């Protein structure tokens, strides 16, 4: 079943390179996923298509107004009524591999809201099913975080990575272990040698070495 991923952003063009390259491009070609980009500016208020305004109570900067965001989400929901609405924000739940796996397993579509500027009118949280942060640092907008989340989900949709034994190789599949170091040809390069155990052909020893050399995630 094709998963619909819709992105609401003031800079939809930022996604074009990412969606049209490599795994994400292949995922669309194989009809595992369908991306659509929604320009928040199209839902701006008045003749100047205003999307932001100053905060009540004073303060620096501009906040995204609720009306364009509500209208954009309503448009996205009309195209995919059961979709989960996700707000990218440094105040959200930290993004984890196990959540990526759960969302990839869920056939429901996704609608991402990428905030910009200094923030958004808090009333938009009423639209949202999940608030997600990619880490405890602040980026200029939710676009890069949304790309991170989308990439981590789409690659786990069955069939996207192809027939290779990605689930086996990818020690991430237990949700806790980070990938072990890997080597390819040549065996010797500038005095650096591939660990002997990997050349040994002993599958048991190799598995043990990989286990010992995997990092643990929280």
Task: Give the span between the Cα atoms of 32 and 17, in whole angstroms.
Answer: 18
Residues 87-116 that bind ligand ADE (CB under 6 A): 88-90
Smallest CA-to-CA distance from 8 within 91, 104, 133, 116 is with 116
Among 56, 138, 164, 201, binds ligand ADE (CB under 6 A): 138
Separation between Cα atoms, residue 110 and residue 84, nearest integer Å: 5
Tell me how far, at minimum, the Cβ of 9 lies from ligand ADE, in Å: 12
Integer angstrom CA distances of residue 60 from 63, 117, 136: 10, 11, 22
Q: How far apart are CA 19 and CA 146, in angstroms?
A: 12
Instruction: Find the binder of ligand ADE among 51, 63, 110, 134 (CB under 6 A).
Output: 134
Mark 193-212 with x for binding to ligand ADE (rule: CB under 6 A) and - for no binding. Answer: --------------------
Stretch that binds ligand ADE, among 21-29, 40-48, 53-61, 85-93 (CB under 6 A): 85-93
Q: What does the binding site for ligand ADE look like in residue numbers (CB under 6 A)?
A: 88-90, 133-135, 137-139, 142, 145
């Amino acid at each position: 079943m094709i998963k619909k991923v819709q992105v609401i952003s003031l800079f939809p063009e930022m996604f074009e390179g990412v969606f049209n390259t490599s795994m994400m491009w292949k995922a669309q070609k194989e009809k595992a996923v369908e991306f659509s980009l929604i320009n928040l500016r199209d839902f701006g208020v008045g003749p100047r298509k205003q999307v932001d305004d100053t905060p009540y109570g004073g303060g620096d900067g501009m906040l995204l107004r609720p009306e364009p965001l509500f209208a954009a989400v309503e448009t996205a929901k009309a195209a995919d009524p059961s979709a989960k609405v996700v707000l990218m924000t440094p105040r959200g739940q930290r993004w984890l591999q196990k959540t990526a796996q759960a969302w990839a397993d869920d056939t429901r579509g996704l609608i991402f809201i990428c905030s910009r500027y200094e923030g958004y009118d808090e009333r938009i949280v009423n639209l949202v099913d999940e608030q997600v942060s990619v880490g405890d640092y602040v980026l200029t907008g939710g676009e890069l975080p949304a790309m991170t989340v989308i990439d981590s989900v789409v690659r786990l949709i069955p069939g996207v990575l192809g027939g290779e034994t990605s689930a086996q190789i990818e020690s991430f599949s237990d949700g806790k272990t980070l990938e072990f170091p890997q080597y390819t040809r040549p065996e010797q390069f500038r005095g650096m040698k591939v660990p002997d155990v990997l050349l040994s052909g002993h599958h048991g020893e190799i598995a043990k070495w990989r286990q010992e050399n995997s990092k643990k995630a929280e």
